[in-house]
Chains A and B, each alone.
Chain A
Amino acid sequence: MSVIYKKIQQIIGPLIFLKNEHNAQYGEIVKIKTNDGKTRTGQVVKMDEQVIVVEVFEETTGISSENAEIIFTEDTFQVKISKDMFGQTFNSLGKPIDIKTKIALDSDILTEVQRDINGVPINPFAREYPVDIIQTGISVIDGLFTLIRGQKLPIFSVQGLPHNKLAAQIASQAKVISEESFVIIFCGIGIIHDDAIYFLKRFQETGSLQNIISFINFADDPIIERLIIPRIALTTAEYFAFEKDMHVLVILIDMTNYAEALRELSTAKEEIPSRKGYPGYIYSDFASLYERTGKIKGKKGSITQIPILTMPNDDISHPIPDTTGYITEGQLVLSRDLHKKGVYPPFEVLASISRLMKDAIGAEKTREDHADISSQLLSSYSNYLEVKDLISIVGEDGLNYEQKNLLKFGIDFEQRFLNQKEDENRTFENTLNIAWDVISNLNPNQLMRIHQKYIDKYFQARV
């Protein structure tokens, strides 16, 4: 079937130029075999009547114009999927690996299906508006920024904050309240070996490993594989969600490494850069990943995404978080200040939002008072921050009664509502009860955002 070529015309960075003597397909996958026994994968990215340009997914070091055989596979990039994948870790080419040694295992998985990694865009009309929740067991997420099945809700972090811990906790605790099957697809993009081993260890400790499929692209792997691996992960997710009726949560970490790979490749292709050297199509490219989330009318399963990214220079207006925020349905922002105070998870709650939450909470879904209490917590916490500023001017003694209440509330909110242990799994009921307990530091007439009937029912005055 496949045609073998011997003659490479030019090699420039990740690009190989071949004479077009073969009727290649645009986007076709090619294998490059060098005489040292290595096989690399590449894709046709440009072609005309004379030349075919192939982008190589792995390092081009070691390829010469004489030592390589080019094999056209007649196919686009496919990934093999099977239910045997649970509990295993795969590399950027979809091969099972041992995380600790990074060596590809001999045991290939039994393939159920093969799918093109680029998927097919979802018809907007076919989308079902997401209204069902996922419980993460983390109070600040469940209580204030509820995660919805079919939502894409990123975590904006910065270097030095415990986003790995948080990701591992979400992966091991997240579940749907109904008895439907719920699985995790964990996709590490350019992560360091220590982190990869940490994740594996956490998954083993919590006993969640059998529910998780991991795809890992290590920091020292070729950067071009960073562009492939999230697509493999999402293709796998689509299969289990839309063909096997499962609820799939995809965790992508770290999208900053992905974007940097995109920029590096774009520069190699001599494209015109847009902001900070990132290509103009970074929005469309991000969307082609993030939009592979959601629910489809008539299907039981769903795909939810939590992309995690580290903001370069702590800057939320940097193209990576900025572009992400424009596509995703909200964002969860982590704060250095709270982290220094020892609060875990250190959420900057006023900068965070979950846009799909409004239609998914309340009576029969979570609890009748959920919307009111979460809005009151946010509003009172913002008042607390103002009071804190005031203290630096007038001192704590200069505060009035209400302001002193707010001070007590704020500290309690950070220490008891936000703060929880990395293996502490709280139910919705528990989270909302803590919320009421914290809010009880305030006077009932300070609770303008809560309906009176809920105050009567849930408010317990402090003695």
Chain B
Amino acid sequence: MNKSNSETNSILGYISAITGSLIKIKGLEAQIRLHDLIKITKHNILGEVIQIYSDYIVAQCFESTSNLRINEKVVNLNEPLSMELAPGLLGNVFDGIQRPLQKAFGLFKDGGLQRGLELPPLSRSKKWHFTPKNKNENNVNEGDLIGVVQETPMIEHKILVPPNNSGKLSFLSDEGEYTIIDEIYKLKKNNKEKSFSMLQKWPITITRPFKERTISNIPLITGIRVIDLLFPITKGGTVGVPGGFGTGKTVIQQSLAKWCDADVCVYVGCGERGNEIADVLKQFSELIDPKSGNPLLDRIILIANTSNMPVSAREASIFSGVTIAEYYRDMGYDVAVFADSTSRWAESLREISGLLEEMPAEEGYPAYLPSKLSSFYERAGIVKLFGNSESGTERTGSLTIIGSISPPAGDFSEPVTTTTKSFVQGFWALDAGLAYSKHYPAINWLTSYSNYPDYISEWWYERDITWTEIDIDWFDCRKQVNDILSQDNELKYIIQLIGEENLPESQQLTLFIAKLIKNGFLIQNAFDDIDNYTGVRKLLGMIKIILLLYKEGKELLKQGFLLEDIKELKTIIEILRINHSIRNEDFNKIEEIKNNLINEIESMKISYGVFRKL
């Protein structure tokens, strides 16, 4: 963000009015473009131009405007707010406008974030081991692979030709150690030679280009059972997670960031608690990725703009996060963005709109809330990328967005929740009632939805476990579970009138199975070492056993057995304990339990069957 060269040959403007974080500037209106950055030179405060009039412009400052005076000098930086993109992003923590917070702490040991801090986002002196993967004299286009850097043990950082560039490789560095600003290659086009380092910049409000969108048929496996079975999300999908305070939004977001099968995660702490960021940092440095044996911090980028940090930088933060995510997507990775919380972001929009004295729409939010929200969620997707990989094949990458929403008083009819619903394909409604009864994750199975199951049923079908006793696939499991849970909901009202014991036994069985599903399958302990992540096979095994019991139970009732007999099957306790006692890799133990169940039912039939029929 330091543009020393442009400062020198710019016309200077001056401050003519100050209200909150907004300043009016005179003298720059003739040459400045909308959304370009300005800098108040004396205090080193950055701002973004948000309105241009004939005789003045309005800019929002990214930092406190205390102590500013009328007539202080303002310079046009001639570029919009952009992200620096190069090796060094992973494992790092930035604020909403990409100032490196770790480095800032190194400078200010008292822990405060001083105003006017000017630091390059990425280290200019750190050396990276670059390996060229292309040849001199080759013609290359945007997105083509130049070389690679092993950024962390988990992620290979691909150095690609930046968007809108092409030409003949007239120079390519040898394998070796380079900083991100060292010259790595040169491209020659129309007799003009241009030099490139590993560092790219990209404006945060503009979507990075790709070849074309495709429809995703691969789920993002989260390890959370209620999500993976009932409300799945695809790689490249979008989900909104609304919930009042205490319903566990942040725990869900953090579990997902820890365990989901994306290659790179971008976690945007937007207007939330400072201690939560400290918690994320601590957990991710301590937790080890089971696949690679490296700390999870190696695959995550944190953007932290906590609630007490300046509001306009909060507004930028989710776009900053998604821009970095797109950059890794362009390398062909599956990237997930977690925005916690989009309500705080919307509030920052509302605050700025209020200062601008704009005509408010619902609840004081500006009328452009929907278009701003859609410009965020629409950057998700699975796409075919420009450029070819080393082997010359076409690459795809995906960007998934999971945004949490903090509706006031847990009321889902408020503008941010309703608007988000128009742009997301999945909706995980967190329920205060479930949280109160300690049912976590508190995803309400009646009000949540996902539009993705049809797209990904094929993927699940290929990974199905085949049990002859119960021949249903993932898609059928979903259908049956949904059916049982909705019957359970309907019966709830009848029970209040006539009591459970007055229902027919078949309906009592449905209630019993619904209870098993809730306690043995849907409830999941994010803090338990085994229960925190459920793999695909364990999930299918767990739900199929319960549905097998349902199927056999119905049959037994028909044959004249009593519900009491079914409820007393000893295997049921084992079924309830699968979640925290059997590891993902011990699938044979789940099969054992299934066999126990079958055997127990068979022996019950043999010993009592004849008697009951009489």
Contact = CB atoms under 8 A, between A and B. Distances in A.
Interface stretch (A43-51, A250-258, A412-420): A43-51
Given A124-B304, A125-B93, A125-B101, A20 B70 contact: yes
B114 interface: yes
A49 B24 CA distance: 10
Contact of B437 (A76, A323, A382): A382
B71 A288 contact: no
B275 A76 contact: no
Interface of A: 20, 23-28, 45-49, 76, 118-130, 150-151, 242, 271-275, 280-281, 283-284, 287-288, 291-292, 294, 296-299, 317-319, 322-323, 325-327, 329, 331, 350-351, 353, 356, 358, 378-379, 382
B111 A25 contact: no
B351 A284 contact: yes
Nearest to B14: A49
A242 B275 contact: no
25 contacts: A23-B69, A25-B67, A25-B69, A26-B69, A27-B67, A49-B16, A120-B114, A124-B93, A129-B275, A151-B275, A275-B363, A275-B408, A281-B311, A284-B307, A284-B347, A284-B348, A287-B306, A287-B308, A291-B273, A291-B308, A298-B111, A317-B408, A317-B409, A329-B273, A351-B436
Nearest to B350: A280
B18 A124 contact: no
B278 A127 contact: yes
Given A272-B354, A288-B308, A319-B408, 6 more contacts: A25-B68, A48-B24, A124-B277, A127-B274, A284-B351, A318-B409
A325 B275 contact: no
Contacts of B437: 382
A120 B113 CA distance: 6
Interface in B339-385: 344, 347-348, 350-351, 354, 360, 363-364
A353 B351 CA distance: 31
Contacts of A127: 111, 274-275, 277-278
Contacts of A151: 275
A297 B553 CA distance: 59
A46 B18 contact: yes
Interface stretch (B46-54, B102-110, B182-190, B198-206): B102-110
Q: How large is the interface on B (under 10, 10 to 19, 20 to 34, 35 or more residues)?
A: 35 or more
Interface string B169-213: 000000000000000000000000000000000000000000000
Contacts, number: 183
A460 B269 CA distance: 47
Contact of B70 (A49, A121, A281, A299): A49
Contact of B438 (A48, A326, A379): A379
A331 B244 CA distance: 13
B270 to A, nearest CB: 12
Contact of A280 (B24, B275, B351, B406): B351
Contacts of B105: 123, 125-126, 297
A382 B105 CA distance: 45
Given A120-B114, A280-B354, A284-B351, A49 B17 contact: yes
A150 B275 contact: yes
Contact of B67 (A76, A128, A329): A76
B246 interface: yes
A118 B275 contact: no
Interface string B59-97: 000001111111100000000000000000000010100
A31 B32 CA distance: 39
Interface in B271-317: 271, 273-275, 277-279, 281-282, 304, 306-311
Q: A-B pairs with the 10 shortest C-beta distances?
A: A48-B17, A287-B307, A317-B409, A120-B112, A126-B111, A296-B111, A291-B308, A27-B66, A125-B101, A325-B245
A378 B438 CA distance: 10
Nearest to B348: A284
